[in-house]
Amino acid sequence: MTHADDLRAWAKGSYTTEAATELLLRAFGGRFAAAGQPWVTPAGTSPEGYEENAWINFRELAAEADSGAYSGGERRFLLLAASLVEDVPVVLGDVVPGLDRVNLDLVLAAVAHAGGSHQHSNIETKEDGSMVLHRGYLDALYPWPQASPAAS
């Protein structure tokens, strides 16, 4: 299992954590999800001898993003990712205009994923007001862009 697979396995089950983790894996060549980042704990064995998945401490990510060590665009992106999981205040009007097109594409997909659009039911409302539930789910409102090598 790759580091990316391990992070995805850890995040699975929480749309917001999945979305934020995927943002870090896909943006900036995946370097903000790398095992060497202070907010990323790599897979390994706990002191008690248990195997543990890699995981991301989004509260620590937000604190580090405000440390002054990152460019304005990186800082905005990291805070936005952290805000999907933790109580990190982000003003979208300040964050979104500073994102480049590639990262804005990822953020749109992350918001759609965090909102569960990939799991919305296909419900049709008829003219008489009755509803019919069709089998399966609708496609994601805004799908993730084609996977980059870092996202694999």
**Model pLDDT, residue 129:** 79
Q: Which of the four pLDDT bands, split at 50, 70 and 90, describes residue 38? A: very high
**Model pLDDT, residue 88:** 92
Q: Which residues contact 45 (CB under 8 A, 6 or more apart)?
A: 51, 52
Q: How far apart are CA 80 and CA 83, in angstroms?
A: 5
Confidence check: pLDDT of 150 > 70? no
Q: Which of the four pLDDT bands, split at 50, 70 and 90, describes residue 63? A: very high
Q: Which of the four pLDDT bands, split at 50, 70 and 90, describes residue 33? A: very high
Q: Which of the four pLDDT bands, split at 50, 70 and 90, describes residue 149? A: very low
pLDDT digits 0-9 by tens, 8-18: 999 999 999 99
Q: Which of the four pLDDT bands, split at 50, 70 and 90, describes residue 68? A: confident
Average of per-residue pLDDT across 56-63: 96
Average of per-residue pLDDT across 52-76: 92
Q: How far apart are CA 53 and CA 41, in angstroms?
A: 8
Please tell me which residue, 113 or 106, carries the higher pLDDT value: 106
What dihedral angle (degrees, nearest 10) is formed by the CA atoms of 23, 9, 146, 87? -20
CA-based angle 48:55:37, to the nearest 5? 110
Pair of tokens at residue 10:
């850890």
Q: 37: closest CA among 18, 21, 13, 17?
A: 21
